Amino acid sequence: MTRSRDYTDILAGCVLVAIGLFAALYATKNYDIGTVEEMGPGMFPAAVGWVMTAIGVLIAAPAFFRLGEMPRPEWRPAIMVIAGVLAFAATVDVLGMVTALMLLTVIAVTADDKLGWKGALALAVGITVLATLIFRVALEIPLPLFKWGF
């Protein structure tokens, strides 16, 4: 095993410090802090931000002195699943629910390699039918099935 610092916790601490500092400074700069008796809109977020920054330092600091591993993301599932949901978001307003769901399923299926293209299409049809039955027929939510353009 190669010597490596505990990058997971170092990164974790850095993320917290970044969010915490941003919240604290942004709130202090843009919102009224007020006084303790009459708290302004900025006081609570600023306080939360500073505590987060402190916790971030507490997590990252000791991690520099111990061994650990880099986190290993699963790129393919992450990218394909996110891409599928984004495709749904991009098309649902314009083309309607059916097209958006077909796109979502066909893209998301490629996150895994267990289904071929025939299986993917069959699953997409099945899921679209299921969604229509649940949301349109049973719950009677008025979602447009098909749309053409704006």
Partner 1 sequence: MDLDVVDKLVIGLQTAFTLHNLMYCFFGVFLGTFVGVLPGIGSLVTIALLLPITFHLEPTPAIVMLAGVYYGSAYGGSTASILLNLPGTPSSAVTCIDGHEMCKQGRAGVALLASAVSSFIGGGIGILIMMMFSETIAEFALEFGPAEYFALMLLGLIAASTIASGSPLKGIAMVLTGILVGIVGTDVNSGAYRFTFGSNELTDGITLIGPALGMFGVTEVIASIRRLKSGAITRNVSMRSMIPSRDDMRRFWGPTLRGSGIGAFFGALPGTGGVLASFMSYAVEKRVAKDPARFGSGAIEGVAGPEAANNAADQTAFIPTLTLGVPGSVVMALIIGALLIHGIVPGPRLVLDKPDLFWGLIMSFWIGNVLLLLLNIPLIGLWVKVLAIPYHILYPAILMFVCIGAYSINNNHFDVILVVVFAIFGYVMRLLGFSPAPLLLGLVLGPLMEEHMRRALVLSQGDFMTFVNRPVAGSFMAFTFLILIYMIWTTIKEARGTTKRATSRTDSPTGRSAADVDEHVGPRHG
* Residues found near partner 1 in the complex (CB under 8 A): 8-9, 11-12, 15-16, 19-20, 23, 26-27, 31-32, 35-41, 44-45, 48-49, 51-52, 55-56, 58-59, 62, 71-74, 77-78, 81-82, 84-86, 88-90, 92-93, 97, 100-101, 104-105, 108-109, 111-112, 114-115, 123-124, 127, 130-131, 135, 139-141, 143
Question: How far apart are CB 56 and partner 1 at their closest, in Å?
Answer: 7
Query: In this structure, what is the dihedral angle of CA atoms 14, 15, 18, 19, given to the nearest 10 degrees?
Result: -150
Question: How far apart are CB 2 and partner 1 at their closest, in Å?
Answer: 19
Structure tokens that stand for 107 in this block: 């893209």
Question: How far apart are CB 41 and partner 1 at their closest, in Å?
Answer: 4
Phi and psi torsions of 47, nearest 5°: -60, -45
Sign of CA dihedral 53, 56, 60, 61: positive
Host H or E run for residue 11: helix 7-30
